Structure 1
Amino acid sequence: MSCHRIDELIELLEPVWQKNQELNLAQMLVKLAGEAGFEGELADLTDDVLIYHLKMQQTGEGKMIPGIAKDYVEDYDWKTAILKARGFDEDEIK
């Protein structure tokens, strides 16, 4: 795991851990893994699962996944996009 991922995980973990100060690190990881629906061995828990789960906790229910939200375009015209991808000019499309 690279340093930036460790920093990101610690940054995301800090506010959650502040609310659950009675837990040690292993207990906190078990708690988060359970919340995320992870059922494997704790040794198999990846940083990706923890980071994704902690990010989704912050977004709130019914909100779009952060990685998808940045690319979302409202009222997107799929037909035009497909034709552009195939090399048609916008003037040719209309």
Structure 2
Amino acid sequence: MSCHRIDELIELLTPEWKKQGHLNLMEIISQLAEEAGHTGDLAKITDDMLIYHLKMKGEEKDAMIPGIAKDVEVDFKAAILKARGIK
């Protein structure tokens, strides 16, 4: 895992940890995994799962993942031009 991902994860975890300061880190991660629908072993949780869950927490169920939302073109003509390298 690269340093920017660690920094991003810590940045996203900090507010959650402050809300529930009585819990230890593993309890918070376990709670987040449960919220995200993870039912397996905690050792199988990926940093991606935690990052995206924390980013999407509080969003509408059908909200688009931030990394995908920036690439979506609603205008077909604009999408074709972008694909051809014309902006």
Same fold (TM over 0.5): yes
Q: Which has the larger radius of gyration?
A: 1
Q: Deviations over 1:26-80 (max 9, x none)?
A: 100100000011111111111111011011115x1143210111112223249x8
Q: TM-score, normalised by structure 1?
A: 0.74
RMSD value, Cα: 2.1
Question: What residue number does 2:63 align with?
Answer: 63
Q: TM-score, normalised by structure 2?
A: 0.79
Matched residues, percent identical?
Answer: 58
Structure 2 unaligned blocks of 5 or more: none
Structure 1 unaligned blocks of 5 or more: 86-94
Question: For residues 49 and 63 of structure 1, what CA distance do their matches in structure 2 show?
Answer: 16
Kindly tell me the number of residue pairs found equivalent between the two proteins: 81
Kindly indicate whether the alpha-carbon contact (under 8 Å) linking 2:52 and 2:65 is maintained by their aligned counterparts in 1: no
Question: For residues 48 and 63 of structure 1, what CA distance do their matches in structure 2 show?
Answer: 17
Structure 1 residue ranges, 4+ long, deviating more than 3 angstroms after superposition: none
